[in-house]
Amino acid sequence: MRVLIADDHELLRDALAAFLQHAGISTEAASDLPDALARVGRSGPFDLILLDLAMPGMNGLEGLQQAVAANRGQPVALISGAARPETARQALALGAAGVLEKTLSAGDLVAAVRLMAKGGIWAQEAGERAGPARPPQSLTPREMQVLQGFCTGQSNREIAAELAISEPTVKLHARTLCRKLGAANRTQAAMIAREAGLF
């Protein structure tokens, strides 16, 4: 996974990059919108772009629209010190994959990045704990049920019995949802789900 972090504050860029790199996520950095767009132009779309709402070149949400177009269908999200709920709603309506506050914990940041890179939407209301606006769009209802079983510590047999399906079917759903979430196994999938506030 390749993530571009665009922010004019070097200390914040470095901190975000350190959190993501510690989680095995490759990052690049840009200091303003023109720099970010140039990097996308040189290396092609990133799996996710994180844009500081207030950095040079953004011109409000106009910069978001430019980045969404430049990243050719791959997700773009905003990061902000204090985005108003109305601004967040407008950003999502314009195609943002999420709006992240700079006060997010490292765990929530990593969960948000993984969620958005897989096609999910992350939103945060002022004063509330961050969490996904809805489950990852690519997970089916059945996969969500299996994932919930993982989060509650159920075995494949217990999940199969509860959902009235076979164990091999549970294993099939497990492989698929782990791939979609970028998880190596069911334990990591459960951790991602918990960090994202899905259950």
pLDDT at 187: 83
pLDDT in tens, 153-193: 899 999 999 999 999 999 999 988 888 777 778 888 887 77
Taking the domain 141-195, which CATH number applies?
1.10.10.10
Whether residue 71 is predicted with pLDDT greater than 90 in this model: the reply is yes
Confidence of residue 138 (pLDDT cuts 50, 70, 90): low
Residue 130 identity (one-letter amino acid):
A
What does the DSSP assignment read for the chain? -EEEEE-S-HHHHHHHHHHHHHTT-EEEEESSHHHHHHHHHHH---SEEEEETTSTT-TTTHHHHHHHHHTTTS-EEEEESS--HHHHHHHHHTT-SBEEETT--HHHHHHHHHHHHTT--EE--TTS--EESSS-TTS-HHHHHHHHHHHTT--HHHHHHHHT--HHHHHHHHHHHHHHHT-SSHHHHHHHHHHTT--
Quick count: other Cβ atoms within 10 Å of Cβ 84?
A: 11
Quick one: pLDDT at residue 193?
74
Degrees, nearest 5: CA angle 26-129-76: 35
Q: How far apart are CA 176 and CA 195, in angstroms?
A: 20
- 106, pLDDT greater than 70: yes
Q: Is the pLDDT of residue 38 over 70?
A: yes
pLDDT at 195: 64
Q: What is the pLDDT of residue 196?
A: 64
Domain range summary for the chain, segments of one domain joined by +: 2-132, 141-195
**Superfamily for the 2-132 domain:** Response regulator (3.40.50.2300)
Q: Cα 187–188–193 angle (5° rounding)?
A: 100
- The larger pLDDT score, comparing residue 139 to residue 92, is at 92
Rounded to two decimals, the pTM is 0.64
pLDDT tens, residue by residue, 143-155: 889 988 988 889 9
* Nearest alpha-carbon partner for 160 in 151, 176, 149: 149
Partnered with residue 76 across adjacent β-strands are: 49
Mean pLDDT of the chain: 85
Q: 173 is written with which tokens?
A: 């759903």
Spatial CB neighbours of 1, under 8 Å, sequence gap ≥ 6: 25, 26, 47, 48, 113, 114, 117, 182
Query: What is the percent of the chain where pLDDT is above 70?
Result: 89
pLDDT at position 124 is 57
**pLDDT by residue (tens digit) across 6-29?**
999 988 898 899 989 988 999 999
pLDDT (0 to 100) of residue 197: 63
Q: Are strands 122-123 and 131-132 parallel, antiparallel or unpaired?
A: antiparallel
pLDDT at site 133: 42
Q: Is the pLDDT of residue 137 over 70?
A: no
